[in-house]
Amino acid sequence: MAAGDEQRRSRRATGPGGPLRLGRREFGPDEYVVMGIVNRTPDSFYDRGATYGESAALDRVDRLVEEGAEIIDIGGVKAGHGEDVSVTEELRRTASFVATVRARYPDLVISVDTWRAPVARELCAAGADLINDTWSGADPELVEVAAEYGVGLVCSHTGGLAPRTDPHRVSYPDVMSDVIERVVGLAERAVAAGVRDDAIVVDPTHDFGKNTWHSLEITRRLPELVATGWPVLVAMSRKDFIGETLDLPVEERLPGTLAATAICAWAGARVFRAHDVRETRQVLDMVASIRGVRPPSVARRGLA
C-alpha cells in the first residue's frame, strides 16, 4: 500500500467526527463553526472597501464576534483581478491589525487569508491561528510556515489556477473527484511536513477554478468530501455561482447563500466562511436542532 493511501485510511478510521483544534479552541464534531470575513482591501467585491480603514475593520470584528463568529478571517488582497499588491503592502494592511485583534480577543481564532509564505510567517508571529490558503498550495513553503508556528491550514482546490486568476472554459472529467484528490493530497503533505491533522481543514473552494455548474455539483456531492474524514470548510457567501443561479447582484444574494449553507451543513460541512454572520449562525443553529444535536433555545409550545 502506498504511504499516501495508508495515511488516508488512517485519517478515515477516525471518521468525520474528530475534533478540530485551532488556537485555544476545540470544536467538537457536532459544532458548526462560523468564520466571519474582514477584508482589509479597498476593492472587495462585497463591501467595496468598507473595512479597509483600521477603525472600521475593528468595528466589524467586534460586530461579527457579537453575532456569533468563532473565527475571524482577515485578508489583505482581493481574491479576483485588481491592482497588484506586494508582500510589503499586504503586510501593511494586515500585520499590525492581526496583532491588535489578538490583543483584543485572546481566545478568538484568527485566520489569515493569504497564499504567500512570507506574509503568513509575519501574520503567524503576530498571533494568527489558521492560514486560509485559498490558492491551493501555490506557494509550496506555506505548509512549512504552518508547521513551524503550530497553526492550522486550509487546503483548497483551484483546478491549477494561479492566484487571482479567473476560470475560463474550465472542465473536469469529474469535478468532485478532482477536488478530493487535490485537497486530500495537500492535507497529507501538510501532515508529513508537521502540521497537526486536527488543525487541517479542506475546502472545495466554490467558484475558484470552477463555473457555476461545477460549484452546484460540489455542493450537491459534498458528502463525498466529508467522507474523507477531513473537516470541511465551505466559503460560498454571496459568490458568483449563487448570483448566476438566481440572476442576482451581490447585494441580493443572501437568501441563496443561506439555502446553500443549510444544505452544506446537513451534508456534513463544519466551518462556514460568511459575510453575514448573524443570519448564518441562525441557519446553522436551526439545522443543528433539526439534526437533534442542539436543543431549542426555548420550548414552551404545548408545555404550559
Q: Which of 46-50, 63-67, 72-76, 198-202 has the lowest mean pLDDT?
A: 46-50
96, pLDDT greater than 60: yes
Residues in contact with 1: Cβ distance below 8 Å, sequence separation at least 6, in sequence order: 9
87, pLDDT greater than 50: yes
Overall average pLDDT of the 228-242 stretch: 98
- pLDDT value of residue 11: 53
Q: What is the pLDDT of residues 123-151, one digit of tens each?
A: 999 999 999 999 999 999 999 999 999 99
Overall average pLDDT of the 159-186 stretch: 96
Overall average pLDDT of the 223-234 stretch: 98
Overall average pLDDT of the 223-251 stretch: 98
3-state secondary structure of 111: strand
49, pLDDT greater than 90: no
Torsion over CA of 217, 185, 155 and 123, rounded to 10 degrees?
-170
- pLDDT value of residue 44: 77
Q: Alpha-carbon distance 228 to 40, whole Å?
A: 34
For the chain, the structural domain boundaries read 29-291
- pLDDT value of residue 9: 41
- pLDDT value of residue 102: 98
- pLDDT value of residue 17: 67
Pairing label, strands 20-22, 25-27: antiparallel
- pLDDT value of residue 64: 98
Overall average pLDDT of the 180-189 stretch: 98
pTM: predicted TM-score of the whole model, two decimal places: 0.93
In whole numbers, what is the pLDDT of the chain averaged over residues? 93
Reported in sequence order, the residue ranges of the chain that DSSP labels E, i.e. its strands, are: 20-22, 25-27, 33-39, 71-75, 109-113, 130-132, 152-156, 200-203, 233-235, 271-274
**Cα–Cα distances in Å, from 50 out to 54, 83, 283?**
10, 17, 25
165, pLDDT greater than 80: yes
- pLDDT value of residue 8: 46
**CATH value of 29-291 in 1.10.357.10, 3.30.379.10, 2.60.40.2470, 3.20.20.20:** 3.20.20.20
Which residues are marked as active site? Answer: 239, 273
